[in-house]
Structure 1
């Protein structure tokens, strides 16, 4: 709920940009002397008018009140110091990083790598490999020894020695003796990028050149190259086995539905009536197309791809989500690059390809603003930083002024030794372990230089690009709105159990049960079966007796759903006569429904536990209304009426 609130405010209210306010503008109002400009109000009014649902707030005066409330919340958030909180700064920094990607040079490099991944992704590779372990921190003699070892193994393989036997004998990969280096089939983004590149560039049946990764040296034998499976479209019926205390056995229910499908019952109708996946149930069970690996349920994917002909239906399949019956609806062609572009670029930016992107981006920023290295960092920092940095316990000592130097200059910014020292002290706690201090310092320097280059670019971007500045400031204020509401309204209401009880006591007549029935709902496959159910109920037969009489292992004629139902719940037939006893027969989605109403419950007040979420929401609204009154008293708002008249004239 809170995140939705934040998204709504980001859409509905766009704050003025610092760039705009630098120009000479007409002041619409002041809040404790701080100006708010007319162009800001006009811009947000025109952009967001259609999003305002309250008709009274769509005219200028009504919208102005909404806008003032928004500005007061921003002022209060700043007064409470929420813009200085570490969580706020971290969240804003993440968004700035994401937004600036649209303007950074890295997008072009990312797109090129995404295109490469798309072409590779048309195929799966089956391969084996041999690994000789050595990491990037190893001393030169160990690195050379590992290289010579993998080189001699490759020569043996090229002369015809069995690759699997070589892997079992020499490979240092865990499990190599059992698997013989076999990796099975894999595709893009499955392996580290250098390994993937070598595998895709090696013809089937041949052995790759030696390739180095963070794990060590590899040689790869490519055994097969097959076209990737295209996406398929399926429908399913799901019976969850995690939906609380069910009144029926989920496995028994899915088998009953499977029997009904074999009898010729409509898949769509059964999905609409009984599937617990409500998002797909309303569409007759239809799911979005997928390929292997897209879903977090390999059992489901395997069963779906085992269906060969359109219309084929699987036997019940068990996954972590429950029980499923799957029908094959369509086989789709491979997606185009444009269709996959967003997903591919996300994977490029998050995986080891990102290092290539970073290098290219850094070079572009250096070229744009000018970059000059002033002093070498390693000789000084190798002595200045103690070995305890490898244990993440190094404490920075101030660098004397006589020793302070400029590391590099980017544009008009000079970055010095002290800046880097602070970075080391903070970053040491979150980086991966290192064995050698020198290698660690080189890695940290590369990270530091990248961070400084990107920060400079982003700062310049907010000054140079009005569009970017506007969107960034919009999110900045949106975060503050979320934080101030969370602190003063949402958490306050959530933690005030006594206040919630008192509020419920005052307003409990607003939370009423409608008329309800304690009933068993019988869904029959035919009208004649429904008539038999009516007769058996009249004879005093129980639900279990009716089920045992009408259903067999080969054929399911009735499904029974007991429970308490409000009279307008979708499980009950429309126009059901609400009275104790056995109902008439009601046609419903290709079945025939009989309801045995055991008790009719009168309307009444719901207990707090039954409506706690709704009561809490209303209590929050009540607290917010009082809080806004206090803000209106705390802050002085002065409206420039001449400016307001001009706005009304311009927006008329």
Structure 2
């Protein structure tokens, strides 16, 4: 058993060594640049079914295609196409999109979306107290605000009335009138830290102190209820906000209610009388909603009080006016999968996106190793002038002795000068700040995130073979398109004189066969075909024949006029090529008669008639001669031993 285990380990190690060797085995060199067997095998397996020429499906034949492919890429790089801004921008966008599949962002986003979905099943009724202080406030102001809120919380916990405390201390507009009441809210209605604290606090209890961009908050949760499924209703609204009216809005809504009870159409009355013009054109129908979505709690209560589809409410009053509501549909609760895209979109666009960024950064740091080397703030506070707050700071080079390492990620050291360049470029588009320190901290966070992601993307090519292969294919595809566009396609399109010369040299390839100028009549029966023959002999036109044989309900003849080469599929087989009316030719389920107006002799096609084909053939010949020049320009050496390994493995 011990010997077997040793042998197994030896075989495994040998196999691993062979795989590792094969991955780096050089198949050929182009001007001494290596091309590995692993790339050839991957491309061969992936594209074999797309090769149309059977002679190129064997490995030797396909190798020639592969060499052409690599020569085009080499030439694109030689012409500097990989340095073009349009190429770099397109490639960067694709790399960013592709790397998201390997970065941790999507997983964190999904987790936050699932959390939001679970929270969305409930609504919170809460009151709160706010002590204002923003993130740019001085430390002493921030501490004073916190201590003030801490005292308020202690009083609330001892039993003082929360509403009275809100009236006395809360700095939120309208707090005195509402006693801090927020009403019911659900996920995404509040900033994320506030939402989290509210959902983590039990009904009847006081929350911990929570910090947001507005300041310090204290929350009392009054109630927590399950969110109702969405419903669809229609309504008729009579506004009481339209100033002087020649009728009483309440009387009008009661009159409409009476008409509905008499059997009048809800949709018709809504279109004619409702003051909600957006819904009136749709017969009063509103978008699906649930409790808390509308700014009219009385409307929501009345709508949810309706139990049966088609049931109509009595007139009810809201801040918008008078309404009659009809229940149209009760919708089932949506699953997470049904809401996934919209939830993930809201996560990525809202304040939760900062959590995604932080979690992603931490995972990159853990994966590659991260070390903060020097504190940037004290240096950059002096180095960067207050002009940066006006977006007018002029960067000065940082002396070598002062250019410390800001942080290291893996084997990369990020310097003070790197951050200085970032500030210089970013200041023009950042939001306005009052405090320089706050601006520098925010810019540093952005800069660190950018550097971490760039390092991750660079390392991903080494860490993940699949990612590297897909990225290489896309890069090569862009370069080949650009080099072909520059050297073949655009050249052929723009050089009209060369195309004319090419046509003149190859015009024997573009000749008409004998043709007929004819009308082809396809009839549904032999009887109709005979009628067509008779009418054509009488000199009737195609329009007259169609009018005589076709009706509004039934088509008995289809007519196809045109000029046709004698072997075109539209013409019957064995058609007698002569002017006049032909015999009847059965064709599938039709009976065909051909009226030949003129027999045209064979001859050359004009350039305008075959321009597309001439251009395509010219491009093919141009590419052929171009590829011959590339094979002379670049030295290609194929390793016969490596090719033999490839053949053995692929066969």
TM-score (norm 2): 0.57
Look up the match of 1:455. 454
SS in 2 for 1:608: coil
| 2-structure distance, mates of 1:440, 1:498 | 61
User: In the alignment, which residue of structure 1 is the partner of 2:65?
Assistant: 66
Query: What does residue 499 of structure 2 align with?
Result: 500
1:419-466, CA deviations, whole angstroms, 9 ceiling, x for partnerless residues? 45545665678x7x9677889999877765544343232223222222
Rounded to whole Å, the distance in 2 between the matches of 1:223 and 1:411 is: 64
Cα distance, 1:45–1:603 mapped onto 2, change above 3 Å: same
Correspondence 1:352-501 to 2 at 5 A: 353-355=348-350, 356=352, 359-360=355-356, 362-370=358-366, 375=376, 384=386, 386=388, 389=391, 398=397, 413=412, 418-419=417-418, 422-423=421-422, 448=447, 450-501=449-500
Q: In the alignment, which of 273, 282, 300 is matched to residue 206 of structure 1? A: 300
Moved more, 393-402 or 550-559: 393-402
What's the secondary structure of 1:28's corresponding residue?
strand
Question: What residue in structure 1 maps to residue 94 of structure 2?
Answer: 95
Say whether the 8 Å CA contact 1:407–1:417 is kept in structure 2: yes
- Over 3 Å counting, the alpha-carbon distance change for 1:645 and 1:444 in structure 2 is same
CA displacement, residues 568-623 of structure 1 (integer Å, 9 cap, x when unaligned)? 55655566554332234456676554432222333332222222222222112212
Give the match for residue 283 of structure 1.
none
How far off its partner does 1:525 sit?
Answer: 5.0
CA distance in 1, matches of 2:544, 2:290: 62
Number of residues paired by the alignment? 473
Residues 164 and 180, structure 1, Cα contact 8 Å, conserved in 2 = no
Corresponding residue for residue 582 of structure 2? 583
Structure 2 contact 371–407 (Cα < 8 Å) conserved: yes
**1:520: which partner in 2?**
519
- Following superposition, the deviation at residue 84 of structure 1 comes to 1.6
Contact 1:515 1:601 in 2 (8 A): yes
Corresponding residue number in structure 2 for 1:601: 600
Q: Which residue number in structure 1 is paired with residue 215 of structure 2?
A: none
**Structure 1 unaligned runs (5+)?**
1-19, 120-135, 137-143, 170-176, 188-194, 209-218, 230-334
1:241-280 matched pairs, under 5 angstroms:
none
- Give, in whole Å, the separation in 2 of the partners of 1:383 and 1:223: 64
Q: Could you tell me which residue of structure 2 aligns to residue 172 of structure 1?
A: none
* 1:135-214 equivalences in 2 (<5 Å): 165=239, 179=276, 199=293, 205-206=299-300
Specify the SS of the correspondent of 1:579: coil
Contact 1:583 1:596 in 2 (8 A): yes
2-side partners of 1:475 and 1:625: how far apart?
Answer: 24
**How much has 1:540 moved relative to structure 2?**
0.4
CA distance in 2: counterparts of 1:428 and 1:588, whole angstroms: 76
2:609 alignment partner in structure 1:
610
8 A Cα contact 1:168 1:181, kept in partner:
no
1:363 Cα deviation after fit = 1.0
The alpha carbon displacement at 1:148 in A equals 7.9
Residue 500 of structure 1 and its aligned partner are, at CA, apart by: 1.2
TM-score of the aligned structures, taking structure 1 as reference length: 0.57
Q: Compared with structure 1, are the counterparts of its residues 207 and 223 closer, same or farther at alpha carbon in structure 2 (3 Å cutoff)? A: farther
Any idea what the Cα deviations from partners look like across 1:246-287, whole Å, max 9, x if unmatched? xxxxxxxxxxxxxxxxxxxxxxxxxxxxxxxxxxxxxxxxxx
Per the alignment, in what secondary structure is the counterpart of residue 578 of structure 2? coil
1:635 aligns with 2:626: no
1:335-354 map, 5 Å: 345=341, 353-354=348-349
The 1:421–1:648 alpha-carbon spacing in structure 2 relative to 1, beyond 3 Å, is same
CA contact 1:42–1:647 (8 Å) conserved in 2: yes
Deviation of 1:501 after TM superposition, in Å, equals: 1.1
The answer to whether the Cα contact below 8 Å between 2:533 and 2:593 also exists between their aligned partners in 1 is yes
Tell me how far 1:369 sits from its aligned partner.
Answer: 1.6
Contact 2:114 2:336 in 1 (8 A): yes
Alignment check: 8 A CA contact 1:104 1:361 kept = no
Relative contact order (C-alpha < 8 Å, sep 6+): which is higher? 1
CA contact (8 A) 2:23 2:37 kept: no
The alignment status of 1:541 with 2:635, answered yes or no, reads no
Q: Please report the RMSD computed on the Cα atoms of aligned residues, expressed in angstroms.
A: 5.6
Q: Aligned partners of 2:79 and 2:298: how far apart in 1?
A: 65
Distance in 1 (CA, whole Å) between partners of 2:552 and 2:388 is 75
Shift of residue 51, structure 1, vs aligned partner = 3.8
Q: Deviations over 1:331-378 (max 9, x none)?
A: xxxx9998x89xx75x77777745546742541331342478855699
Q: Conserved in 2, the CA contact under 8 Å of 1:509 and 1:605?
A: yes
Query: Deviations 1:27-51 (Å, cap 9, x if unpaired)?
Result: 4333222233344444544554444
Does residue 620 in structure 1 map to residue 619 in structure 2? yes
Aligned to 1:56: 55
SS in 1 for 2:103: coil
Q: 1:412 to 1:551 in 2, by over 3 A?
A: same
Give the distance between the partners of 2:301 and 2:402, measured in 1 at CA.
Answer: 54
Instruction: Check whether the contact 1:165–1:180 (CA below 8 A) recurs between aligned residues.
Output: no
CA distance in structure 1 between the aligned counterparts of 2:301 and 2:394, rounded to whole angstroms: 49
Instruction: Report the CA distance shift for 1:387/1:226 in structure 2 as closer, same or farther (over 3 A).
Output: farther
Q: What is the match of residue 563 of structure 1?
A: 562
The equivalent residue for 2:79 is 80
Alpha-carbon distance in 2 for matches of 1:448, 1:583:
81
List runs of 5+ in structure 2 lacking aligned partners: 1-18, 119-133, 135-170, 185-235, 244-273, 303-319
Q: Cα gap change, 1:576/1:507 in structure 2, threshold over 3 Å: closer, same or farther?
A: same
